[in-house]
A and B are shown apart, each in its own frame.
Chain A
Amino acid sequence: MKKIIALFLALVCVACVLASCGTSADTVTLYVYNWGEYISDGSEGSLDVNAEFEKYCAENERIKQLTGGKKVKVNYSTYASNEDLYAKLESNTVSYDVVVPSDYMVARLAKEGLIQKIDVSKIENYQYIRNEFKGLYYDENNEYSVPYTYGTVGIIYDTNKVSVKDAEEQSWALMWNENYKGDILQFNNPRDAFGTAMFYLGIDVNSENEQDWINAQRILKSQKEVVQGYVMDEVFNKMESGSAAVAPYYAGDFLSMYEDNNDLAFYYPKEGTNVFVDAMCVPASAKSPELAVEYINFMLSEQIAIANAEAICYASPNKLVYENTDYIAEMSEIHENAMEILYGYDDSKMAYFYDLPDAARKTMNDLWEELKIENDKGVAIYIIGGVIIAAVAVIAIIVFISKKKKAKAY
């Protein structure tokens, strides 16, 4: 037995040494940090974009010069919200080469010097970016970011569970409807969650007035009673399996879910909703910024951009995708109104989230924290009942034990 263990350990150690040899000296690693489910990753027969990039690097002369002929390896990892990304970049204990924050986060990261300038004139495929997506509010001079995808928030609902009448109203009110208690999901991040409430109440989502945020929080609190959970990408599973009936999420993700569950439907709330652009940026702490720019350029090339757009189903700011007939056919196959949903929305009802001033952001975060840590009273009663039983049981045991102790002492 001892010998077996020793042998096993020896083997593992040899494996360690071998593993570390294989990856260190002759490769350059590019660290990409992106949203979850936000790239064509080779699953279900799609194109594996990161592997393609590794291949492309091996063949491209310019990149070979850049890396000195070393192999390029992409280290791809994911986050669930802009705030996660911000916390990671700000903590300064990890470094990434390419990140994909949303508009308001681009503005904030640029303002705080956490991302560096990119020379877009060096990105040959930048010419294919549609003009509407150049010089947007968060990066007016196109210095920091290159658009990756854009999208909108709407309400996804299960036609088996939500009545036609409620759905026809096309309102945010569906998320507060008592009939669907325990079947409603809400965003698990303050900006989007407050967004739903503020659009519903008709408040400016970029308000700097504290009272507006307090009002929004009030109805979020009232919503807690009917909400099943606060989720981000868990929403896919929940909606596809029919575990929830109503969820606000991104239009592109609705299409992904619809592929797996045809009972789902989608609408843009009549009160207005959020439009956003997710853009590729290079963090200030990047170790291979030049290679990062090559990666960004690669992501804009036709075949890759289409593969991504088809895999993640978000709208693309890239002309090569938007005008491609194969792509249009492919999307229409997923859902007959796919192009309409992604690209044909009413601009006048859409609002961008701006980077809030520090005071307003603090207000929002504090109110969110308060919302998260507050527990509804119904629960309290439920629990206190249980606790009394628990306490009695525990005390009984303790008393019993100490009695025994005393008995022993005599």
Chain B
Amino acid sequence: MSAAPSAEEVLADLPPTAAVWCSGLRKRYRKRTAVDDVSFTVGRGEVLGLLGPNGAGKTTVIKMLLGLVRPDAGEVLLLGRPSRDPRSRAKVGYLPELFRYQPWLTAAEVLDLHVRLAGASVPAAERRECLALVGLADRTGDRVGGFSKGMQQRLGLAVALVARPEFVVLDEPTSALDPIGRADVRDLLLSLRSRGVAVLLNSHLIGEVERVCDRVVILDNGKIAAEGTLTELLGQRELRLRLDKVDDAASARLAATGTLTRDGDLFTVALPADPDSGTVPDLVADLVELGVRVHAVEPGRISLEERLLDILRTGTEEHR
């Protein structure tokens, strides 16, 4: 007869909780609703991109997750603990959009302070490595007051990473960085993902998000306008054709394949996410049969930028 498993064993066997789970977050500043009924999850080891126009409520959502802003409604679980409990933030690293560190401390002292506040034990060599990782190896003993904006943002990245986080929140992490710095951040994000660290990334640089994020949440006017994996959001493919002698029957044939847009002799047909292998050759054969002269056929994929603009514009129209 085997003994019943202890509570610890039962807990250990459970799958790890999500890095973040939030539900029904709402925040009003006087008469303006900043965040309205926002819910999403960031899985362990997942990189989630938070996108949206200025004033969409991205930073407010991030601050509510971290207990910096009190939500009017809604719940947050951070690494399995309610965010009311400060211990929920023990394994969280954060680079704020407004990154400022005590100007009267040196870079190394700022890191020491954050290691102490996090209650972590990180050897001095590892702290130095962390500064080296963001390119501040030779500035460890310099006062932060003398740092440029870009260097302060690099320091902010080191602060976010120093206490061995399991979840990292980066709010506009490359806003003050040069192109090399941006590339460094991209590599950093990929290395975090490979180590199973969950990341919530708020960035205006869509290309950056498209390259590193597994999933994207798009906020507009404080609400979630769209969310999904990149394949789900960008799954829509399109076919661009340059044609002439297109009559009504040919137009009908094109429209039957997918949503049709026309600009002179350039026709664009939206295709389903996983089009049948015969869809394109069949369409071309039918068009030729209908007497259409086919000059060019090229497949295209909608970029995240186009998709984002599409979602935001449609959303804006709906609000009107």
Q: Do A and B bind each other?
A: no
